Amino acid sequence: MNETSSQYGKVYLVGGGPGDPGLLTLKGKECLEKADFILYDGLVNPLLLRHTKARAERTARADLAGRRTLEQEQINQRLIDEARLGKTVVRLKGGDPYIFGRGSEEAEALAAAGIDFEVVPGITAATAAAEYAGFSLTHRDHASAVCLITGHEDPDKSESALDYQLLAQFPGTLVFYMGLHRLQHIVDALLAAGLAEETPAAVITRASTPHQRVVSDRIDQLPQKVLQGKLVAPSLIVIGPAVELRSRINWFEKKPLLGLRIGITRPAGQMDPQIQSLVARGAQPVLMPLIEIHPPADWTAVDNAIDQLERYEWLIFTSSNGVESFLGRIWERGRDSRLLARTKIACIGESTAATLEKYSLRADLTPDSYCSESLAESLLARKPQGLVLWPRANRGRDVLVEALKANGITVDEVVVYQHQDVNQFSPEVQHLLERGELDWIGLSSPAIARQFAQLFPPEYRAQLGTNLKLVAISPITAQELKKLGLPVATVAKQYTWEGMFDAIEEFVGAYSD
């Protein structure tokens, strides 16, 4: 590097994988976490951006109609310009940067400009598409080699660089990238070169995503079958005997919630467990936070309670936010969990207790049913004699404190976090609602139910109960929804987000049998 380039930032050319957000590499995630600026391809799953706080811009060299909107040279220059400002830049690309991703062109431009860069390989679409479709590209009985081929050559070339005579004789699996619009031409050229008409072949679209579709047949029948199936880009064409394995080892399309779009209404920074759970079940998580979590405007009451913790016999937590906010405040003030040595702890449910365990603390009491009524009943059964402290939100149900006070127990309440309503759905959610493409929405409290009812446009209410269904976390939340005139399709048996997903699975399974 020269003296000038040493003043610049650095660019990471990162492969984002084929679609499943779990297929991002650990190094790719590290790059996103430290980035100052991100340019990401149109094929990148936006869920990957939850790993960064950097400003992110989407680049697409063509719009949905195929019209060119951004030249590669413009992208190259943008990377250079941002790096020259001293930023850590991530160029996030679908699949692998160098496998038909034009990443090497970007690397050449960076090198010529004296910009330091690194390449972070990603899982390329060919391997992921085949494996998620249910067949392997190599197999000792079927294919001893793999050939990756572009189905979309440079239009400025005077003639094709592909030798279809050689491809027709290739002793393994052929994979064509970006060739859907030229499928008939590719098939005709291979058949004319001597490839057997009965050769197994498949087209895989939107590979490794909840909306993956696969059409397979003998190669001479494939174009017509793909046309009938109305498959769209991005797609890959896979040709060879290994495709026949799909009938025996297809696994991805057996996921219980495959293809369903399910709305998560939790605060934006707390959705990761639910995102991961839905992806594992084959669904597409739709991020639609209805509340935000903020610290209290004044910590005085909380600090006073912390300074007098030895006075309290019981400490009650009714949410993970309460645990993290209260224990976090103890730590910020230079103290630690030893303050709780003489205090018993009650948690409303398993997820709250699990958050407590992150601080190496165990709950003394967790009721079998995760609701305020059960927590109050269980706590009263312990016959508390002393004071009770409840670190809570600025709003919520008062059933717990009313039940305890009605039995002569003194409860001190301190606000350790605040709920703030989100005033509008994101453009993505609005788009899905307008097109009737949102399948389920999970609602996890009466307050969130009320906020949803306020934001949900009246013109879309006809969708409820048909193509759009609501799942409630508990009977109390379901009752609130019904009071608001919103039909509830199903209610979780276990009052957690996982319980809601289980309820959706049970509902879907019952109607598919």
The tens digit of pLDDT for each residue in 419-454 reads 999 999 999 999 999 999 999 999 999 989 999 999
Assigned CATH for 8-123: 3.40.1010.10
Across the range 323-348, mean pLDDT stands at: 95
Query: pTM for the complete prediction?
Result: 0.86
Across the range 30-42, mean pLDDT stands at: 96
pLDDT at residue 71 tops 80: yes
Share of the chain above pLDDT 70, in %: 95
**pLDDT, position 220:** 96
Distances (CA, A) of 317 to 80, 392, 501: 50, 7, 24
**Helices 372-381 and 399-406 sit at what angle, rounded to 10 degrees?**
30
Average pLDDT, the chain: 92
**pLDDT, position 152:** 72
Task: Name the residue with higher pLDDT: 302 or 156.
Answer: 302
pLDDT at residue 1 tops 80: no
**pLDDT, position 372:** 87
Across the range 308-314, mean pLDDT stands at: 95
Q: How many CB atoms lie within 10 A of CB 66?
A: 8
Q: Which CATH class is domain 295-421?
A: alpha beta
Token pair for residue 143?
Answer: 């294919």
What homologous superfamily is domain 127-254 in, according to CATH?
Tetrapyrrole methylase, C-terminal domain (3.30.950.10)
**pLDDT, position 158:** 54
Cβ atoms of 123 and 208 closer than 8 Å: no
Distance CA 122, CA 125 (A): 9
Which of 463, 329, 451, 455 has the alpha carbon at shortest distance from 389? 329
**pLDDT, position 142:** 85
**pLDDT, position 151:** 82
Q: Which residues contact 338 (CB under 8 A, 6 or more apart)?
A: none
Tell whether domain 261-290+423-512 is in CATH 3.40.50.10090: yes
- Decide if 261-290+423-512 and 295-421 have a common fold: yes
pLDDT at residue 391 tops 60: yes
**pLDDT, position 69:** 64
**Domain regions of the chain by residue span:** 8-123, 127-254, 261-290+423-512, 295-421
Cβ atoms of 469 and 503 closer than 8 Å: no
Q: Strand, coil or helix: what is 351?
A: helix
Structure confidence at residue 4 as a pLDDT band (50, 70, 90): very low
pLDDT at residue 488 tops 70: yes
